[in-house]
Chains A and B, each alone.
Chain A
Amino acid sequence: MKRTGSIVAAMLAGALLATPALAQKTVLTVGMQSSDAGVLDPHLNSGTPGKALLNWMFNGLVRIKPGELSPEFIEPDLAESWTASADGKEWTFKLRQGVQCHHGYGEFTSADAVYSLNRAATKESSAFSSDYGAFDKVEAPDKYTVKITLKQAIPSLLGIVMNYHGGNMVCKKAAEELGKDGFAKKPVGTGPFMFSEYVPQQYAKLVANPNYFRAKPKLTEILYRFIPSDSSRDLAFQSGELDMMLGRQEQAWVDRMNALPGVKVVAMGPAEMSVLHLNMSQPPLDNLKVRQAIAHAIDRNAIWQFRGKNISRPAVSVVPSGYLGTDEKAALLPFDLAKSKALLAEAGFPNGVTIKTINTTLPSMLSFTEATQALLKRAGITLEIQPVEHATFHQQIRQDLSQVVHFQAARFPVADVYLSQFFHSRAIVKTPTAVTNFSHCKVADAEIDAARSETDKAKQLALWKTAQEKIIKEVCAIPVNEMMQLWAYKDSLDLGYELKASLNLGPPVLETTRFTK
């Protein structure tokens, strides 16, 4: 009897000891603010919900070190090493050997890389084809070598062959066999997690790739749940049904989440910079003094306080902080109410001016514009806000219908992208090559163009600095502040790296990511 008792006790003790190992979670449940992830083809999906998900399935030739943002942290991914010719027009990548495509589609070789890049550069199969406009040809001299020849040097070739947008490497055999529509339903890459199931409006399920070239992932599954309602996502996280979720860009949300036990809140990059673009083609904004008066009336620190100290920061230049080429100490016009009023009077508007803006109804963007409106009022500048639904806003500002455009965006972190899209004359709205130059700015075309093909790094940085100085002096736009991406996750989740930023807007989930309990 005594013996039986001790056996039972030993079994119980064993069971108790074994419990932590058995209870260890290996399924990560993520909540996303969306009702769908969109088309699951990495070369076609440009939405936030899809980007984060695809990032867990695909690799690039190179990648930015997980958790970082700046291109200075570029490291090997599917390519082990690379070299560039002196003029920056020829790039050769040596691929890792033995990398396996998901679902048994065989080894990833240079043929797959060539196929992927050509696919990303083709309008019909890619939403990012314009990024590859400088490509002349992509070749595979041997099974593990990829050679890219450019028509002209570009500021960041590595930026467009990394695991982001068109740089995601797909497996040729799978893409051809499944066809465009089939591939979008069953994406095949080489990343740590493989596509398993997609239930519309509910979730996408990924499973661990046991053959992942870095190591077998510690998590077995990722359940990516689509939860468009902010309140429901918060409640599901609070009840423990989600391990990680996208937050709302509000200080109150951060404070509420921080008050929950066992929760980690991260304000990560890339920050979206709020910029007021002033339409210089229309009076009274065609008058430099009026533009300067507006700039002097905006108190960046006040807006920073308003938007939340932990989730935003004041802008430093017309290019967001931390980008390659940002002038971190740019001479932005300081807040000076008296000077603002004086400039208005000098410009012939002693009684103030009235300007109009079409603004999205997205709450965080609208509240920013309303705060700006209050600041401008003190200088005698009346900002009339016309709120419209988000998609309408995007269409109308591109039709050049707004005198002031509040645009909030993050871009690939190289100065060239922001400068080219927002401040080059080619990008002026309503032109055939339009992108998002709402101010009709054209003062820095020469520097932006020259920097694009400048291979001397120091000269390139100097050109970008001059471009920023010119744009600021002309007051084409007023950069105000930067809003971070907010994520909350259980502190028992060890991502395996320090999360400071993620270009794909969702925390990278790696082979090392695991739960500690």
Chain B
Amino acid sequence: MGAFLVKRLGFAVVTLWAVLSLVFVVVRIVPGDPAQVILGDQADATAIAAMRTRLGLDAPVIEQYWTFLSGALRGDWGVSLVTGRPVIQEILAVLPWTIELTLVSMAIGVAIGVPLGVWAAINRNHMPDYVTRIASLLGLSFPPFVSAIILLIVFAIVLRWFPVISAGSGSPSAWFQAMALPALNLGLIMAAYITRVARSAMLEVLQEDYVRSARAKGVPWRVVVWKHALRNALIPVITIVGLYLGILIGNSVLTEIVFNRPGLGKLIIGALNQRDYTMLQGMMVIYTLIVVLVNIATDLTYAVVDPRVKLS
């Protein structure tokens, strides 16, 4: 276990370095001048040149790379080119919002997806199966920003149960009001994925010999499904949860914009539009870090759920 962790963390460091370097290169290849964006379209060439010097963008690229990498090692991600505030501060201010949204929507996804998938599998080729398959297909087909607008129109404009914009801090009811629609939006997409995976995993497991033996021995169907089969069917579900966590964070970009929720999504769109190099670099580190850590966590969870899996 210890050796596994050391190896995976070492791998994570190499991955981080590779991503950092790639982002450093990419943001500089993409056309668009941050100095120009900051100063606006009335700035003359002299002012733009002065701004580039101030931002350190006129230094040789290799020197910029070294400053960036050595700063990153010290935990210094520099300041945002646009707002002048430290990158790490800006990211940490909104990170909890994205993590919170992702976790709550994942919980919604699992809570809906696993029982639905199992229900569909044990009723294979019957009405519950058809209904579930159509519903999950619908869930997968909806782009998150379209479903977000529909949720807003129904629940905020027509029914007036939730506000369109909400600060979401302070009281638990304010938190719930701000969280409900965005989490539901992402949670339903997640549920659609999980339902499909849980269904097919369950179908496979139900055909295994040990299930048949259990049935032959007279173990009640309910116990067979929930105690014996589900535990094994969960392995692919965990894989999918881990894998789609990255997609969920990506989808949160659009969800955060439409629901006007603070978070990494809103931050990265602003940074991209304004060619805020330092902010983009900092954000890519965070994204990579999240994906790498989630992968490690997924592997660890396998071991807990399935005793056959050995971490080595």
Q: Which of B16-47 contact A (CB under 8 A)?
A: 30-33, 36-47
**B270, CB-defined interface residue at 8 Å:** yes
Tell me the residues in window 142-173 of chain B with beta carbons closer than 8 Å to chain A beta carbons: 149, 152-153, 156-157, 160, 163-165, 167
Q: Write out the residue numbers on chain B whose beta carbons fall within 8 Å of the beta carbon of A123.
A: 47, 50
A83 surroundings in chain B (CB, below 8 A): none
Tell me if A134 counts as interface (CB < 8 A to partner B): no
Do B90 and A200 have beta carbons less than 8 Å apart?
yes
Stretch at the interface among B236-244, B258-266, B291-299: B258-266
CB of A200 within 8 A of CB of B84, answer no
Contact assessment for A391 and B149 in the assembled complex, using a CB-CB cutoff below 8 Å: no
Decide: A232 near B152, CB < 8 A? Known: A47-B40, A239-B157, A391-B273: yes
The digit string for A17-39, where 1 denotes a CB below 8 A from any CB of B, is 00000000000000100111011
Instruction: Kindly supply a per-residue 1/0 record for chain A positions 198-219, scoring 1 wherever the CB is within 8 Å of any chain B CB and 0 otherwise.
Output: 0111110000000000000000
User: Quick check: B164 and A127 within 8 Å, CB to CB?
Assistant: no
The reply to whether B163 and A241 form a contact with Cβ atoms under 8 Å apart is: yes
Q: Are A436 and B41 in contact (CB under 8 A)?
A: yes
Please give the distance in Å from B167's CB to the nearest CB on chain A. Answer: 6
* A35 surroundings in chain B (CB, below 8 A): 266-267, 269-270
Q: How far is the CA of A239 from the CA of B36 in the complex (A)?
A: 37
- CB-CB < 8 A to B274: which residues of A? 391
Contact of B94 with A by CB under 8 A: yes
Q: State whether A394 touches B164 (Cβ < 8 A).
A: no
Residues 86-131 of B contacting A (Cβ, < 8 Å)? 90, 93-94
Contact A394 B260 (CB under 8 A): no
Q: Which of B84, B94, B153, B263 contacts A181 (CB 8 A)?
A: B84
Known contacts A129-B47, A235-B157, A391-B275; is-contact A201 B163 (Cβ 8 Å): no
Q: How far is the CA of A123 from the CA of B32 in the complex (A)?
A: 22
Contacts A228-B269, A389-B32, A395-B31 given; does A36 touch B258 at CB 8 Å: no
CB–CB A235/B153 < 8 A:
yes
Q: Are A433 and B31 in contact (CB under 8 A)?
A: no
A409 to B43, CA, bound (A): 13
CA distance A346 to B304 in the complex (A): 83
Q: Are B83 and A36 in contact (CB under 8 A)?
A: yes
Residues of B within 8 A of A436 (CB): 41-42
A460 to B308, CA, bound (A): 89
Query: Do A395 and B42 touch across chains, with their CB atoms under 8 A apart?
Result: no
Contact B94 A227 (CB under 8 A): no
The answer to whether B273 touches A427, judged by C-beta atoms less than 8 angstroms apart, is no
Q: A232-B152, A236-B165, A389-B32 are in contact. Are A431 and B45 (CB under 8 A)?
A: yes
A200 near B262: Cβ-Cβ < 8 Å: yes
- Distance in angstroms from A356 CB to nearest chain B CB is 17
- Take A201-B266, A241-B165, A395-B31 as given contacts and tell me if A232 and B36 are in contact as well, using a CB distance cutoff of 8 Å: no
CA–CA, A285 to B274, complex, Å?
33
Which A295-344 residues have a C-beta within 8 angstroms of B? none
Which residues of chain B are near A287, meaning CB under 8 Å? none
CA distance A241 to B160 in the complex (A): 11
A130 and B44 in contact, given A200-B90, A200-B94, A241-B163 (Cβ under 8 angstroms)? yes
- Would you call A513 an interface residue if the criterion is a C-beta within 8 Å of the partner chain's C-beta atoms? no
Interface: A465 (CB within 8 A): no
Q: Which of B39, B266, B267 contacts A127 (CB 8 A)?
A: B39
Contact A130 B47 (CB under 8 A): yes
B84 / chain A contacts, CB cutoff of 8 Å: 39, 181, 184
- Asked whether A432 and B40 contact (CB < 8 A) given A35-B267, A200-B93, the answer is no
Cα–Cα, bound, A434→B44 (Å): 6
Partner of A433, one of B39, B44, B262: B44
Q: How distant is the Cα of A202 from the Cα of B93 in the complex, in angstroms?
A: 11
Q: Are the CB atoms of B33 and A394 closer together than 8 Å? A: yes
Residues of chain B within 8 A (CB-CB) of A388 are 31
Question: Given A228-B269, A235-B164, A394-B33, are A435 and B45 also a contact pair (CB < 8 Å)?
Answer: yes
Please give, as numbers and ranges, the residues of chain A lying within 8 Å of B202 by CB-CB distance: none
Q: Which of A36-92 contact B (CB under 8 A)?
A: 36, 38-39, 46-47
Instruction: Determine if B300 is an interface residue (Cβ-Cβ < 8 Å).
Output: no
Q: How far is the CA of A170 from the CA of B88 in the complex (A)?
A: 29
Q: By the criterion CB–CB under 8 Å, are B42 and A228 in contact? A: no
- Please, what's the 1-or-0 string for A113-142, where 1 marks a CB less than 8 Å from any CB in chain B? 000000000011001011000000000000
Determine whether the beta carbon of A239 is less than 8 Å from that of B43.
no
Contact A202 B262 (CB under 8 A): yes
- A sample of 16 more A-B contacts (CB under 8 A), given A35-B270, A228-B260, is A39-B82, A46-B38, A46-B39, A123-B50, A185-B85, A201-B94, A228-B270, A232-B257, A236-B260, A239-B157, A394-B36, A396-B31, A421-B42, A432-B45, A433-B46, A435-B45
B interface residues (Cβ-Cβ under 8 A, vs A)? 30-33, 36-47, 50-51, 54, 82-85, 90, 93-94, 149, 152-153, 156-157, 160, 163-165, 167, 257-260, 262-263, 266-267, 269-270, 273-275
Cross-chain pairs A/B with CB under 8 angstroms, 9 sampled? A201-B94, A201-B266, A225-B260, A228-B270, A235-B164, A236-B163, A241-B163, A390-B273, A391-B31
Closest 7 CB pairs of A and B: A391-B32, A46-B40, A236-B164, A201-B262, A434-B45, A392-B31, A35-B270
